[in-house]
Structure 1
Amino acid sequence: MHLPNFHSAQNAAWRLLAVVKAVFQTTKDIPPVDAYTVGWICALREEYDASCRMLDEEFENPGTEQLRDPNAYVFGRIGEHLVALTLLRTGSFKSYIAAQTARDMARSFPHLRFILSVGVGDGNPSPEHDVQVGDIVVGVPTNTARGIEQYDMRKHLRGGRFELTGRLNPPPDVLLSAVSKVQGQYNGPMKSDITTEHLKRMNDLPGFQRPEYDRVYHSDHRHGGQSKGSETRDRLDRRGSNCTTRGVMAHYGTIASGCEIADVVTKAVYADDPKMNILCYDTVAAGLMNSFPSFIIRGIGDYCNSCQDDRWRSYAASTAASYARELLLTVRAEGAVNEPRQESLVHLPGTV
């Protein structure tokens, strides 16, 4: 009769115990749903991929599949903050989808304090703001605007003027305070470019590296046709040397957003409105601001004209994600927790 080896049985028992402990430890280390305080929304795959690279650590799903939430999340940590990151579902009207995504996210995470919308937008260069591809535009209030203006909410008047027919909520105060700290770090004359360190997380992804040159069309330029202005404005500028030598700049002001992409003529009219002082265009931000306290960060992947060029889009997604990471590292965790929730003031048509 063959008797089992005592030491073999003991070793098997210890191995089983180690497995049980490992499973228990893994389960115990998964942060619960109510520990997440920051939402992070992207509209494009490039934005999503770049944003995921900014996480310090990833976690398993804490159980949102049981909450009837259609959003698919990546769960992670940046500094002291636990972040729930998602990519918008496909659809024609990104602003409406973003609004519903924010509401689903708010239901799933009861302690969520704010949402970062991190992605790519079309820049609007001006004599006051040398907005270039690869730069960052942060939607913050000015003396004449609330940071995000919805061009669907404006009625055209004679003489190129507009009448405001609705307002979007301003960004959360806790993030506006953090911006004041980050602003000097990014654009100070003696400061290094903070994005450089964060962008190292993208070094192994060739498609996300900085392109070599930049092309600039004026906002009223129509590709293949005449501009609405004089012939001297219908031109192509090559800013290769300046674009590739100067670091990433962050610009602060108004982002114009709408349910649909504005045509080149509409963009040109807005670009010439001194009260608006638009730095960037997008199609997502308008859906978020009145759905949940949100903060909009855009990397400039192109310019506001009809000549679309996607070569800078992935890099711009990386610069926006790097700024968002730096912003969260500036905000103390208790600041996020103490930020009061704000109720939606305006209901967007087509949202639930």
Structure 2
Amino acid sequence: MGSSIALAIRRTAHTRQNFSPPDPPNDRLFEFQSRHPPTADTCDGCPAEWEVKRRVREDKTPQPHYGIIASGNAVIKDGETRERLREAIGALCFEMEAAGLMQDFPYIVIRGICDYADSHKDKQWQGYAALAAASYTKELLRRNPWILV
């Protein structure tokens, strides 16, 4: 999957601009109770002490999450709400586009994660997340053509 993402990003200037991953320092996870200043457009001014300390990832390629994905009809932009849901149902991922489909037909949700469902939400990872999901979907269908049956 990682090589197909890299290949797609290199394809054109448009894909490099819209689908490249932001620099690692822009992947900031904040303590769930920290609130983004309402007048700030970016997290540049959010204190470093609000950040959750994490070890540096050895593998920078996107990793599939096989587990509970909460599906709802509203965007979550609150760390405390995210933590309550995580504790109650064990969901590590939240999405809203597929909500309600399960009643109509069986489906698989393949999403690229682009934020931490808190008040620090921004759009800088959306393009890369969409590309990662598309790449994973393409690979899944290539290896398992019976899924389309």
Instruction: Please give the range of the TM-score, normalised by the shorter of the 2 chains.
Output: 0.7 to 0.9
1:270 matched to which residue of 2?
85
Displacement of 1:199 after TM fit? 4.1
- Structure 1 segments, 4+ long, off by >6 Å, are none
2:148 matched to which residue of 1?
336
| TM-score of the superposed pair, with normalisation by structure 2 | 0.74
Offset from partner CA, 1:120-165 (integer Å, 9 cap, x none): xxxxxxxxxxxxxxxxxxxxxxxxxxxxxxxxxxxxxxxxxxxxxx
Displacement of 1:251 after TM fit? 1.3
The 1:331/1:245 distance shift into structure 2, 3 A limit, reads closer
Displacement of 1:257 after TM fit? 1.5
- Structure 1 portions without partners, runs of 5+: 1-193, 226-233, 338-352
Displacement of 1:322 after TM fit? 0.6
Residues 76 and 117 in structure 2, CA contact (< 8 A), matched pair in contact too: no
Corresponding letter in the other structure for 2:135: S
Corresponding letter in the other structure for 1:258: G
Equivalent-residue separation in structure 2 for 1:313 and 1:245 (angstroms): 20
Partner SS state of residue 115, structure 2 = strand
2:62 matched to which residue of 1?
248
Corresponding letter in the other structure for 1:221: S
1:210 matched to which residue of 2?
21
Q: CA RMSD in A?
A: 2.5
The 1:268/1:220 distance shift into structure 2, 3 A limit, reads farther
The 1:244/1:212 distance shift into structure 2, 3 A limit, reads farther
The 1:221/1:244 distance shift into structure 2, 3 A limit, reads farther
Equivalent-residue separation in structure 1 for 2:2 and 2:137 (angstroms): 10
The 1:207/1:222 distance shift into structure 2, 3 A limit, reads same
2:126 matched to which residue of 1?
313
Corresponding letter in the other structure for 1:259: N
More strand by share: 1
Q: Percent identity?
A: 33
Displacement of 1:242 after TM fit? 2.3
Corresponding letter in the other structure for 1:248: P
Corresponding letter in the other structure for 1:309: D
Displacement of 1:286 after TM fit? 1.7
1:221 matched to which residue of 2?
34
Corresponding letter in the other structure for 1:332: P
1:286 matched to which residue of 2?
99
Residues 270 and 278 in structure 1, CA contact (< 8 A), matched pair in contact too: yes
Offset from partner CA, 1:59-100 (integer Å, 9 cap, x none): xxxxxxxxxxxxxxxxxxxxxxxxxxxxxxxxxxxxxxxxxx
Residues 199 and 319 in structure 1, CA contact (< 8 A), matched pair in contact too: no
Displacement of 1:248 after TM fit? 1.8
- Structure 2 portions without partners, runs of 5+: 39-48
The 1:200/1:238 distance shift into structure 2, 3 A limit, reads farther
1:258 matched to which residue of 2?
72
The 1:293/1:245 distance shift into structure 2, 3 A limit, reads closer
Equivalent-residue separation in structure 2 for 1:218 and 1:301 (angstroms): 17
Residues 199 and 322 in structure 1, CA contact (< 8 A), matched pair in contact too: no
